[in-house]
């Protein structure tokens, strides 16, 4: 079962956006970024797409 995130539909803060950029540059996976930021994977994907950030796909 998927983990529940209590921050449903919360706006992104400037600090969170900076953290997302930093973690994505380090090459972290979507799942790892999601846990680190306590946001859903879908939310991370949407924000990354909006900002033009590439998330590493670990296989």
Residue 43 inside a domain? The answer is yes
Residue 21 inside a domain? The answer is yes
**Cα–Cα distance measured from residue 2 to residue 54, given in angstroms and rounded to the nearest whole number:** 23
Residue 7 inside a domain? The answer is no
Residue 44 inside a domain? The answer is yes
For 3-59, the pLDDT digits (tens) are: 665 667 789 999 999 999 999 999 999 999 999 999 999 999 999 999 999 888 766
Residue 37 inside a domain? The answer is yes
Residue 26 inside a domain? The answer is yes
Q: What is the pLDDT of residue 43?
A: 92
Looking at the structure of the chain, the number of domains it has is 1
Residue 1 has pLDDT above 80, yes or no: no
Residue 31 structural domain: 14-51
**Cα–Cα distance measured from residue 33 to residue 17, given in angstroms and rounded to the nearest whole number:** 12
Residue 2 inside a domain? The answer is no
Assess contact for 24 and 55: CB atoms under 8 A.
Answer: yes
**Cα–Cα distance measured from residue 51 to residue 17, given in angstroms and rounded to the nearest whole number:** 9
């Amino acid at each position: 079962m998927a983990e529940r995130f209590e921050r449903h539909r919360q706006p992104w803060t400037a600090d969170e956006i900076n953290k997302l950029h930093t973690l994505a540059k380090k090459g972290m996976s979507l799942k790892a970024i999601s846990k680190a930021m306590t946001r859903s994977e879908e939310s991370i994907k949407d924000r990354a797409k909006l900002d033009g950030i590439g998330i590493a796909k670990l296989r």
